[in-house]
Amino acid sequence: MNAADTFNAVPTAQAEPTPCAYSIGRRLSLLLAIQTVIGLGVLLAIIYGATTMLFNAKHEEELRSNTAVLVDVVREAHAQGGEAEVKAKLAWISERRPGTFVQMTRADGSELYRDAAPTFDITQQTSRAMDFSVPIANGSALAGKVVLDCSQDAKTAKRMALLLIGSVIAGAALVGWGTFWRVRCSLRPLLDLAAQTKAIDARRLGQRLSLAEPVEELQPLIDQFNGLMNRVERTYVQLEGFNADVAHELRTPLANLIGQTEVALSRERGVAELEETLHSNLEELHRMAAIVNDMLFLAQADRGVKARRAEPVSMAQLVRQVVEFHEAPLEDQQLHVTIEGDADVSLDEPLIKRALSNLLGNAIRYAEKGSNVGVRIVRESSDSVRLWVENVGPAIEPEHLPRLFDRFFRADTSRCELEKPHHGLGLSIVAAIARMHDGFPAAESSNGTTRVGFSVQAS
């Protein structure tokens, strides 16, 4: 089964339903329209209520005025001619006060006067009434009632209510449409950013988001996105370089394996020759396995795996153990190792030993024969410890120092790998182990002395 078949065989989880997208413009328009309806509705309701109160005050004033006039007229008419004069006066007045209805009763409750059939319905809510009494000479009093026709004012109030309701609806519609249009215009920079984002692909990773007219609210988002694209571009370039380097590093041992195998198969060979070929092929396979294992380790470190810290141990003791492991190559190069300083740190002992071994191996590889290799342990703060490995040898150019911990990077490409075989991942592993301990690597080179090391957090 190939990789594609394996991928297709993996059961896929049922995708969760994507929530429906909503329009910011429509939502804001609806919300502001509702707010407008509420605001204008309250305001215009207050205006309508105030207008109704003014109408009621006007009706009350008219009723009081009519009542006062009727009281004076009835009293004077009764004094002059009795009930007959009262009826005559009221009938004369009724012709000159349209929109009113007057009714008078005697003290015993019998009807004295009543206007002719009124031109409006006195029982409807559109009419208002007021009772009054008129004292007469014999000590009794006449009771009266005035009814005022308010239908015109009621129609005016109704028309006003309809006008106000229409104003509320029209205002809400106008605000909603205006808001939607303004939001659409205001969101145009977002549409421009979306178009720019859509145009970015693997061939245009260098493209960045920008606006012709900077928007204060969008600028932090643009800056964050451009920063993300910078990291993506840098990672993509590193990945392409890493893939090319891996292909290059694996191509050499593969070519050796293929070539030696083809030569061995070109004619009959003896057992000794075949064993020699197999041993040579085994060395190449070990080299390839080392490259693959180191790549897997670096991939784990890149995913953010942290070191497993144990009980505090002496870093000087770890250095001595690593030095004993490199005793043979040290003797071959007539090198001496000195250890300065010490610190008890909680760390992942196997990883630190691996980093120390890589640093010491790198120093042995490039140190001058018969020189001294120094290991310095410095406590920089209460929670940080730095370890340096120094050697005397060819200086590293300043422009090469920042890339010293890149994968497959070699500062001196003229060195023959057959003399000092290594595949260029040692210092990258040192940097990864430092990051796994919340530290970072460092390198210095001047006056024939090169120092390479890393820091770890003591916590």
Residues 421 and 405: their CA atoms lie apart, in Å, by 18
Q: Does residue 422 register a pLDDT over 90?
A: no
Identity at 303, one-letter amino acid code: R
The predicted structure's pLDDT at residue 376: 93
74 close to 144: Cβ distance less than 8 angstroms: yes
**Cα 18 versus chain centre, distance:** 18
Overall size of the chain counted in residues: 459
- Beta-ladder partners of 336: 372
Domain match, 317 and 294 both = no
Q: 24-62: per-residue pLDDT in tens?
A: 777 877 888 888 888 888 888 898 889 889 988 988 898
Token pair 């040579």 is found at 280
pLDDT digits (tens, 9 = 90+) for 219-265: 888 889 889 888 888 778 777 766 777 777 778 778 888 888 888 88
Last residue of a domain, one of 142, 175, 208: 175
* Residue 67 pLDDT > 90: no
Please write the tens of the pLDDT for every residue from 295-352. 777 777 777 788 888 888 998 999 999 999 999 989 998 999 999 999 988 888 889 9
Name the token pair of 187. 């969101």
Other CB atoms within a 10 A radius of the CB of residue 333 amount to 18
Structural domain includes residue 32: yes
Any domain includes 281: yes
141 and 218 belong to one structural domain: no
| pLDDT range class, residue 411, cuts 50, 70, 90 | low
Q: Same domain, yes or no, for 291 and 312? A: no
25 to 32, 211, 433, 454: CA distances (angstroms): 11, 21, 51, 54
User: Does some domain include residue 184?
Assistant: no
- pLDDT cut 90: percent of the chain above it: 11
Contact 377, 316 (CB under 8 A): yes
In a domain, 280, yes or no: yes
**Range of 213's domain?**
200-305
pLDDT tens for 432-454 read 888 888 888 999 988 888 999 99
Closest-CA residue to 77 (of 104, 49, 39): 104
Question: How many C-beta atoms surround the C-beta of residue 49 within 10 A?
Answer: 10
Are 279 and 386 contained in the same domain? no
State the CATH number of the domain containing residue 393: 3.30.565.10
Q: What is the pLDDT of residue 11?
A: 47
pLDDT (mean) for 74-94: 84
The answer to whether 388 touches 376, Cβ cutoff 8 Å, is: yes
Which DSSP helix (H) or strand (E) runs through 71? helix 24-94
- Structure tokens of 45? 């309701």
- pLDDT band (50, 70, 90) for residue 74: confident
For residue 291, the cross-strand partners are none
Phi, psi of 257 (to 5 degrees): -60, -45
Looking at the fold, whether 234 and 296 belong to one and the same domain comes out as yes
Are residue 321 and residue 357 in the same domain, yes or no?
Answer: yes
- Say yes or no: 318 and 294 in one domain: no
Last residue of a domain, one of 280, 305, 330: 305
Residue 10, domain member (yes or no): no
Q: Tell whether 436 and 344 lie within a shared domain.
A: yes
Per-residue pLDDT at 145 exceeds 60: yes
Q: Does residue 345 sit in helix, strand or coil?
A: strand
pLDDT at 5: 46
Give 393: exposed, middle or buried? Use CB within 10 Å, 0-12, 13-18, 19+. middle
Q: How many domains does the chain have?
A: 3
Same domain assignment for residues 322 and 301: no
3-state secondary structure of 399: helix
Average pLDDT (173-190) is: 82
| Domain end among 108, 142, 175 | 175
Output b/e per residue, 74-95; b: 16+ Cβ within 10 A. Answer: bbebbeeeebebbbebbeebbe
Asked if the structure places residue 161 within a domain, the reply is: yes
How far the first Cα of the chain sits from its last, in Å, is: 47
Indicate if 246 and 339 belong to the same structural domain: no
Q: What's the Cα-to-Cα distance from 14 to each of 4, 18, 22, rounded to whole Å?
A: 20, 12, 24
- Which of 236, 218, 183 minimizes the C-alpha distance to 210? 218
Q: Is the pLDDT of residue 417 over 60?
A: no
The model scores a pTM over 0.75: no
- pLDDT for the residue numbered 336: 92
Question: What number of CA atoms fall less than 13 Å from residue 435's CA on the CB side?
Answer: 16
CATH code assigned at 246: 1.10.287.130
Shared domain for 298 and 311, answered yes or no, is no
pLDDT-derived band of residue 6, with 50, 70 and 90 as boundaries?
A: very low
Phi-psi region of 370 (alpha: psi -120 to 50; beta: other; left: phi over 0): left
> Identity (one letter) of the amino acid at 150?
C
Q: Are residues 419 and 279 in the same domain?
A: no
Structural domain contains residue 122 = yes
DSSP 3-state of 371: coil
8 in any annotated domain: no
Q: Helices 24-94 and 151-186, interaxial angle, to 10°? A: 170
CATH number of domain containing 78: 3.30.450
